[in-house]
């Protein structure tokens, strides 16, 4: 039972990070119908920006600002940096290809992904970067918390999960309750018709990239609070986030959240009960099962092709 509780907490932490990444994929796919392969690397850059800002603020052992402010500043800096990066990528790598055949922007996205990860390696090397979160106010974030049975749920985990969910609720509100969100949904539904209704498509697309990349930046920091980050995390994490988006139904925002959590649970329980090595296999099996039996994903619309 204790192991189960422990694994569930792990699953929620991991799943919420995956969900944040998946949201970026889903948002961009919804508006542009483009699988943004570079998204995983934006996430990686986010975790590095977080690390850099953390070091500038004195590191975790003697920060120049209170701990809560430190976490907030680091997260927002990563979000802002990634949002800027997302805008640049959209403007220079995807916009020229908006009317090209479907395969062209996909390959361009692969190129961007490869370019980003190798540029980061050129500049910062392949060494892992550890946030050393245990040093924050002498381990209080790990030692404090609340107990379920015999298991202590550390404060840091609670912070991670809660902030991920706050971001998701904020996103849901933005997309469903604001004018800009309405424009995004309209563009996603039919780009041409939306343009004819006076929606500035370019602005909507840029805004979508800002949102998605900012979420990736936040996910990068939340990820790195748990384990050290390296320049190579982008590929695998991006792939997982991507799978989460497909499982949940690509294009659907609640779907991406559900997909992320499913992946988190699948991985965490496999690692806990079966073997730490074969969680990829389980996730792949789930993906294939969805492809065969429910290709539109959990909450996605079935694609009705009009000819």
Partner 1 sequence: MTDSTPHSSHTPATGPAVGQDEWVARHAARGLLPEGPLRRVEERLRVVPWWAWLVLFLATMSLLPVVESSGYVRRVGFDTVLYMLLALGLNIVVGWGGLLDLGYVAFYGIGAYAYAILDSDKFGIHLPTIVAVPLVVVIGAVAGFLVGLPSRRLTGDYLAIVTLFFLQLFQTVMTNGDSAFGHNLTGGPNGILNIDPLHLFGHDLTVQHQGVFAVSYFYVALAFFAVVYVALKFVNASRTGRAWRSLREDPLAAEAMGMPVNWLKLLSFSFGAAVAALTGTLFASLNVSVFPLTFYFVLLITVYTMVILGGSGSQPGVVAGALIISPLLEMLRDPGKSRVIFFAVLVGGIAVAARRSRALGITAAATLAFGFAAHEIARAIDSSWVSGERGGGFAGFVDHWVIHPAQLASWIPPVSYVGLIAATLGVTLLHGHRRLVALVPTLYLAAFVWENVMLSKPEPARYIVLGMILIALMILRPSGLLGERRVEIV
- Residue (153 or 246) nearer to partner 1, CB: 246
102 near partner 1, rule: CB under 8 A = yes
Q: State in angstroms the smallest separation of the CB of 166 from partner 1.
A: 29
- Residue (163 or 243) nearer to partner 1, CB: 243
- Residue (49 or 175) nearer to partner 1, CB: 49
Cα–Cα dist 184/282, whole Å: 34
69 near partner 1, rule: CB under 8 A = no
Q: In terms of C-beta density within 10 A (0-12 exposed, 13-18 middle, 19 or more buried), how is residue 306 classed?
A: exposed
- Residue (145 or 300) nearer to partner 1, CB: 300
With CA atoms as reference, report the closest residue to 213 among 302, 307, 88.
88
Piece in contact with partner 1 (CB under 8 A), picked from 147-155, 165-173, 200-208, 276-284: 276-284
Token duo for residue 291: 């492809």
Site for partner 1 in 177-236 (CB under 8 A): 235-236
Site for partner 1 in 104-143 (CB under 8 A): 104-108, 110-115, 118-119, 121-124
What distance separates the 2 farthest-apart alpha carbons in the chain?
Answer: 63
Q: What does residue 60 show for φ and ψ, rounded to 5 degrees?
A: -80, -25
274 near partner 1, rule: CB under 8 A = no
With CA atoms as reference, report the closest residue to 14 among 152, 157, 172.
157
Piece in contact with partner 1 (CB under 8 A), picked from 13-21, 56-64, 92-100, 200-208: 92-100
Q: In terms of C-beta density within 10 A (0-12 exposed, 13-18 middle, 19 or more buried), how is residue 59 classed?
A: middle
Q: State in angstroms the smallest separation of the CB of 287 from partner 1.
A: 6
Q: State in angstroms the smallest separation of the CB of 264 from partner 1.
A: 17
Per-residue burial over 113-139, b if 16 or more Cβ lie within 10 Å, else e, is beebbeebeeeeeeeebebebeebeee
For residue 148, give the H/E element and its range. strand 145-148
- Residues near partner 1 (CB under 8 A) are 29, 33, 35, 88, 91-93, 96-97, 100-108, 110-115, 118-119, 121-124, 235-236, 239, 242-243, 246, 250, 277-278, 280-281, 283-284, 287-288, 291-292, 295, 307
């Amino acid at each position: 039972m204790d192991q189960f509780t422990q694994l569930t907490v792990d699953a929620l932490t991991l799943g919420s990070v995956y969900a944040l990444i998946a949201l970026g994929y889903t948002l961009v796919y919804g508006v542009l119908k483009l699988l943004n392969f570079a998204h995983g690397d934006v996430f990686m850059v986010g975790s590095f920006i977080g690390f850099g800002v953390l070091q500038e603020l004195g590191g975790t052992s003697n920060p120049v600002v209170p701990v809560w402010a430190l976490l907030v500043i680091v997260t927002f800096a990563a979000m802002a940096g990634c949002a800027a990066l997302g805008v640049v990528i959209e403007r220079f790598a995807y916009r020229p290809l908006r009317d090209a055949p479907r395969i062209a922007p996909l390959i361009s996205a692969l190129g961007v992904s490869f370019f980003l990860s190798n540029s980061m390696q050129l500049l910062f090397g392949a060494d892992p970067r550890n946030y050393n979160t245990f040093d924050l106010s002498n381990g209080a974030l790990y030692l404090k918390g609340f107990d379920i049975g015999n298991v202590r749920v550390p404060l840091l985990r609670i912070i991670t999960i809660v902030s991920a969910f706050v971001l998701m609720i904020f996103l849901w509100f933005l997309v469903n309750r604001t004018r800009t969100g309405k424009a995004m949904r309209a563009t996603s539904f039919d780009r041409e018709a939306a343009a004819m209704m006076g929606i500035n498509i370019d602005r909507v697309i840029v805004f979508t990239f800002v949102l998605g990349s900012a979420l990736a930046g936040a996910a990068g920091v939340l990820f790195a609070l748990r384990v050290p980050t390296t320049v190579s995390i982008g590929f695998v994490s991006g792939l997982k986030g991507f799978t989460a988006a497909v499982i949940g139904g690509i294009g659907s925002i609640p779907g991406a959240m559900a997909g992320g959590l499913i992946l988190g649970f699948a991985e965490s329980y496999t690692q806990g009960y079966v073997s730490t090595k074969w969680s990829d296999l389980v996730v792949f099996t789930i993906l294939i099962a969805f492809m065969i039996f429910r290709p539109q994903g959990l909450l996605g619309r079935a694609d009705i092709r009009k000819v």
